[in-house]
Structure 1
Amino acid sequence: MDNPAAHALASWAVSLPLGIAYSGGADSTALLHAAAARWPGQVQALHVHHGLQSAADDFERHCAATCGALNVPLHTGRVDARHGSGESPEDAARRARYAALASLASGQGVRDVLLAQHADDQVETMLIALGRGAGLDGLAAMPPEMMRHGIRFHRPLLDVPAVQLRSWLVAGGVPFIEDPSNSDERYTRNRIRHRVLPAIAEALPQFRDTFARSARNAARASALLADLAKIDLANVGVPPSISALQALSRERCANALRHWLRTAHRAVPSEAQLQQLLAQVDACRTRGHSIRLKVADGFVEREGAELRWYNVAP
């Protein structure tokens, strides 16, 4: 039985040397083996020690043993991934992980890092986005490539089901870690994995392929909306002119404002905040009309004929 990760990497273009985000779990183990075989001597394993479990030191020792057997250098970064008040533990851990991986990669002169997220992870991400009422960006789920902290991250396994990766490991007697946190159903993703996906598989056996197609369609539509927003903002201006925004249809105005806030200020408004802002822009027809609305972690205010965003209200 061939490693399905190897098939996924066969036509994947990356710059060398290459980093592999390696946790020691089943998915990253299959990916590491495939990458080490495809690019011998050019692979660096990057391991993040989260410090969230007592077994984290054992995970690191397992990773060191595997990398030694494969003649792959292992680089470990330790992070404090504890979440703050009101913060999702999954989000806090993810942010800490990407920052640590980027730091490790940069330290080794690596510009490209492969991640082992697979087809089941993609479906879980889409379902979480649906549960949050996300728009097209959320429904597009995880992109095959992205830039973060100056590093290009790749997800070559998004079309590969988890069961295929695990089956290859078991058939070949390849050791990997069973992370006990993956069975902890306090986490939304784990509840979806253990309760929802089996039910979907029974009702819709081809769901991985169809969900992946929907994610790609959402990504294309999202890209078109971004292109439209750039065209509108070129006419509206940055910061945007209120009168020019009023000349747009409500949906195009919303699209332009959302794109401006996200790209210029990394501020993502909630649906309620965006609707309030649209109403205020539409109502702003007199010189004395003021606008001051909370948006994300800052404020949108009227300044003369334009809108401005401040992370702290002046």
Structure 2
Amino acid sequence: MTQSFDAAMAAFAPPLPLAVALSGGADSTALLLACARRWPGQVHAIHVHHGLQAAADAFQAHCEALCARLQVPLAVCRVDARHAAGQSPEDAARQSRYAALAEAALQAWPDRPMASVALAQHADDQVETLLLALSRGAGVAGLAAMPAQWQRLGLPWFRPLLPVEGAALRGWLAAQRQDWVEDPSNADQRFTRNRIRAQLLPQLQAAFPQFRDTFARSSRHCAQAAELLQEVAETDLAAVGNPPRIAAVQALSAARQANVLRHWLRVAHGTTPAAAQLEELLRQVAACTTRGHRIHLKLGRGFVVRTGALLGWYNP
């Protein structure tokens, strides 16, 4: 259920010292302010300078002034967030940001590396993430949206504000008489997330006032389903082998074939097939009943091939 800002922060108990990812926006400004007050001397801040827009220097200046006033150590990381061919700009920025945050948390203060990292996404961000996943036809792993706690790059990460509405967070900041900087790109409705925020969320609020709670509950159900699918996939991959034996894969139900092959491609070869690619692979596996049947199928960054009785992989 959604909570007040104070209630969400009261429930937050991370390992200390804590690094707070500080963009300069309202969400991360509120998170840093609350954490610095609660754990004086135990909180550091990390600001990632993407260099993607003219306002980036103003974000850094706000972060430096805020941290100086709060007497919170600040690390500023400059990253190259340019996206590769076929990669979205948002994904490129996100991946570079996580890598920079982890590196700073562990290395910026070598005499006292951080024990955990906190991010400031809130309930509205969670809804936007879920709607984006639905718009892309995501499976249960995508519909699980953002976890409140997870492990990444050797650190525990937390999102303590996921139960808090964006308006409640800004109301708390206003009551503290604390300013923040607005990212001008948030008003650019060429980005799908911004269109969701500006156009869909007000309509959902009018039609379904409790939508944040019900959407979050659906995401939790999807997270549980994704965990079960992961467990089944691990069990099935151990049974069919790595690389998989074609006959053993064929002995599984269609749903388990798809689940184990997706898992094999992800964990063994770092690629995630599109739905159409996976469907074609399943069709090829089902048709593989003679020695002469050949499989040579483009999937992600490489090819799935038949090698005798096994499915193989190569990346040219």
> Same fold by TM (over 0.5)?
yes
Aligned counterparts, 1:219-258, within 5 A: 219-258=223-262
Task: Look up the equivalent residue of 1:162 and give its one-letter code.
Answer: G
Asked whether the 8 Å contact 1:185–1:191 carries over to 2, the reply is yes
Determine if the alignment matches structure 1 residue 116 to structure 2 residue 123.
no
**CA displacement 1:113-146 (0-9 Å, x = unmatched):** 1000111001000101111011001110111123
- 1:26 aligns to what? 26
Provide the residue aligned with 2:105 in structure 1: 105
- 1:74-89 aligned at under 5 Å gives the runs 74-89=74-89
Following TM superposition, the consecutive aligned residue runs of length 4 or more in structure 1 with deviations greater than 3 angstroms are: 3-6
Kindly provide the amino acid, as one letter, of the partner of residue 90 in structure 2.
E
CA offsets 1:163-189 (integer angstroms, 9 cap, x no match): 110011112211111111111111111
Does the CA contact (< 8 Å) of 2:5 and 2:168 recur in 1? no
Q: How far apart are 1:310 and its partner, in Å?
A: 2.3
After superposition, where does 1:183-222 map in structure 2 within 5 Å?
Answer: 183-222=187-226
Structure number with the bigger relative contact order (C-alpha 8 A, sep ≥ 6) is: 2
Contact kept? 2:5, 2:172, Cα under 8 Å: no
Q: CA deviation at 1:26?
A: 0.4
CA distance in 1, matches of 2:292, 2:52: 54
Alignment of 1:41 onto 2:45:
no
Q: TM-score, normalised by structure 1?
A: 0.95
- How much identity, in percent, do the aligned residues show? 60
RMSD of aligned C-alpha atoms?
Answer: 1.5
Alpha-carbon distance in 1 for matches of 2:41, 2:206: 43
Secondary structure of 2:97's partner?
A: helix
- 2:281 maps to which residue? 277
Q: Aligned partners of 1:38 and 1:190: how far apart in 2?
A: 33
Cα shift at 1:10? 2.4
Unaligned runs of 5+ in 2: none
Aligned length: 310
Cα separation, 1, equivalents of 2:19 and 2:131: 29
What letter corresponds to residue 98 of structure 1 in structure 2?
Answer: Y
The 2-side partners of 1:48 and 1:174 are apart by: 21
Separation in structure 2 between the aligned mates of residue 98 and residue 298 of structure 1, nearest angstrom: 26
> TM-score by structure 2 length?
0.94
Cα displacement string for residues 50-79 of structure 1 (whole angstroms, at most 9, x for unaligned residues): 111112112111111111111110100001
Assess if the C-alpha contact under 8 Å between 2:80 and 2:96 holds in 1. Answer: yes
Partners of 1:161 and 1:309 lie apart in 2 by 46
Indicate if the aligned counterparts of 1:46 and 1:75 stay in contact, CA closer than 8 A.
yes
User: Match for 2:185 among 181, 187, 203?
Assistant: 181
Q: SS of the counterpart of 2:82?
A: coil
Counterpart-to-counterpart distance in 2, 1:184 and 1:288: 55
Query: Partner of 2:157 in structure 1?
Result: 153
